[in-house]
Structure 1
Amino acid sequence: MVNDAPEIVLLPGLDGTGDLFDRVAPHLAREFKVNVVRYPQDPTLGYAGYVELVRHEIGSRPVYVLGESFSGPVAVLVASQLRDQVRGIVLAATFIKNPWPQWLMRRAARVDPRSTPRNIRDAMLMGPFSDKELRDKVEDIVRALSRPVRAARLRAAAEVDVRRDFMRLECPVLALHGRSDWLVRKAPMQKAIGEKGRARMIVFPAAHMLLQTRPAETATEIIEFTRSSAEENYEA
């Protein structure tokens, strides 16, 4: 990576740790300065709080922003507020409106994730593309995540709707999704991408955790996206 490399800010999924970017980040580091944001375990934070935290982290620097899963709406709102400062956003395995009925997500917020059999949870998150190291890492993160924080984030996701903000974005948008994602259906994002200009979607043979199970392939697409968007901006 050269000193004047563009910066990409990675916003984590529901766990908020940023630790699950450890596989894709080295691939991105060939092209970018990689900045992994880590959310505090604070149950009082909603989406507005996470947006403010990310804006403070970015400061006045020009950046690309990647929002994974829970953080997709954060990426959209940050880009809508910072405008030209955000060169483009990547939405990975995520949503712009609550992905499940509100009652179901609120009920899930009351469930202890440790009560879900590990093999079922791993199948939903990783499908047949997992490995022992990744499964063990997810287990450690699930056990460490505060239940009040997890519940607060699920309640926030149950109510979120940033479709209008998404449609008004002027920066380029790339959506990445797993073909076998059981947690976040790809159809709503496909529909939104199809209705919006300067946006495209790539579907991978993967489950929800595509950045972790397909790190090299997803990083390649992200790099190509940022290169093409930079050329587009230069020509404009």
Structure 2
Amino acid sequence: MKIVFLPGMDGTGLLFSELILNIPSEIDREVICLNEIQGVSYREQAEQIAEKIGLSSVVVVAESYSGRIAYELCNILGRRVSKVVFIASFVSCPGRLAKLAAVLPKYLLKPNLFPNWLMKILCFDGRGNRALIEHVRHAIAQVGPRALKQRLLNMAELDEPKDQQSTIAAYIRPTNDRLVAYDAIKVLGNIYPQLSIESVEGGHFIAQTAPESCARVIVRAATT
């Protein structure tokens, strides 16, 4: 069994570094870099990732932005996706902040323009230290403003999926996620009737602030 990790809006996979360290080495894993995918829409990105996966059976771990990619993969690959783990993620528009961010001009989509205190509150529920915040800035800096703008638009324009999924799914829900509204989690529960929710103390960047707790959920999903 392989675990395929799909990153958040930065698309790099760099922010999975601590999480991956907490996954036992005997478990096969692959981190997908969205910045190497040519597709623009969620469906296009999922189709190209499906080609990479091929005939393998996988557990898909989707962080934040990539939740809809995971949903599309379930449609494309069917039973080859044995389980899905969503980390502070969504398959429909995550909330009002996403719609607001989508109208920001490209020149404002630079990580150094957002002060540490704002990132700490919005992204980390006040828990992120300077090193972690700089790690996030570094990951976002690897992506051009045009790509970031497109991903923000993709999130803001998400419709509510109509097809239910039989795939077993788990949701790692931060206790204080200021970026994903509860309504978006309710939609996920409607789409994945077998969804189990695991609460972990922290903010939206929960895989970075609580990698051990998140890894336990992922390993349990992959091995049971």
Larger Rg: 1
Contact 2:179 2:204 in 1 (8 A): yes
Superposition misfits of 4+ residues, deviation over 6 angstroms: 41-44
1:180-203 deviations in Å (ceiling 9; x for gaps): 111112443146426743211111
Q: For 2:162, what is the secondary structure of its paired residue?
A: helix
Do the aligned partners of 2:55 and 2:80 also contact (CA within 8 Å) in 1?
A: yes
Establish whether residue 226 from structure 1 lines up as the match of residue 222 from structure 2.
yes
Deviation at 1:54, TM superposition (A): 1.1
- Alignment equivalent of 2:119, drawn from 118, 121, 126: 121
After TM superposition, give the deviation of residue 41 of structure 1 in Å: 6.4
| 1:158 alignment counterpart | 156
Q: Which residue of 2 aligns with 1:234?
A: none
User: In structure 2, how many angstroms separate the alpha carbons of the residues matched to 1:214 and 1:194?
Assistant: 27
User: Which stretch shifts more, 115-124 or 47-56?
Assistant: 115-124
Once the two structures are aligned, what percentage of the paired residues are identical?
Answer: 22
**Which residue number corresponds to residue 171 of structure 1?**
167
CA contact (8 A) 2:168 2:192 kept: no
Structure 2 Cα separation of the partners of residues 54 and 155 of structure 1: 20
The DSSP-based 3-state class of the residue aligned with 1:128 is: coil
Q: Does 1:25 align with 2:20?
A: yes
Cα offset, 1:43, TM superposition: 8.2
Residue matched to 1:198? 194
Aligned residue identity for 1:95:
F
Question: What residue identity is the alignment partner of 2:15?
Answer: L
User: Alpha carbons of 1:122 and 1:199: their partners in 2 closer, same or farther (altered >3 Å)?
Assistant: same
- Residues 2 and 27 of structure 2 are in contact (CA less than 8 Å); yes or no, is this contact kept in structure 1? yes
Q: Displacement, 1:60?
A: 0.9
Q: Aligned pair in 2 of structure 1 residues 9, 208: CA closer, same or farther (>3 Å)?
A: same
1:171 Cα offset (Å): 1.4
Per-residue displacement from partner, 1:153-189 (whole Å, max 9, x unpaired)? 1011111235323xx2111000111111111124431
Task: Give the equivalent residue in structure 2 for 1:39.
Answer: 34
Alignment equivalent of 1:64, drawn from 38, 59, 66: 59
Question: Residues 196, 131 of structure 1: CA spacing in aligned structure 2 closer, same or farther, 3 A cutoff?
Answer: same
Give the C-alpha shift of residue 134 in structure 1: 1.4
CA RMSD, aligned part only? 2.2
Bigger drift between 132-141 and 173-182 goes to: 132-141
Distance in 2 between residues matched to 1:76 and 1:109, nearest whole Å: 29
Q: Which amino acid aligns with 1:128?
A: G
TM-score relative to the length of structure 2: 0.89
Contact 1:43 1:148 in 2 (8 A): no
In structure 2, the CA distance between the partners of 1:103 and 1:90, relative to structure 1 (3 Å rule), is closer
Match of 1:130 among 128, 133, 140: 128
The TM-score, its normalising length taken from structure 1, stands at: 0.85
Stretches of structure 2 that go unaligned for 5 or more consecutive residues are none
Going from structure 1 to structure 2, the CA distance change for 1:103 and 1:52 (only over 3 Å counts) comes to: same
Shift in CA distance, 77/195, structure 1 to aligned 2, threshold 3 Å: closer
TM-superposed deviation, 1:137: 0.9
Match of 1:172, as an amino acid?
A: I
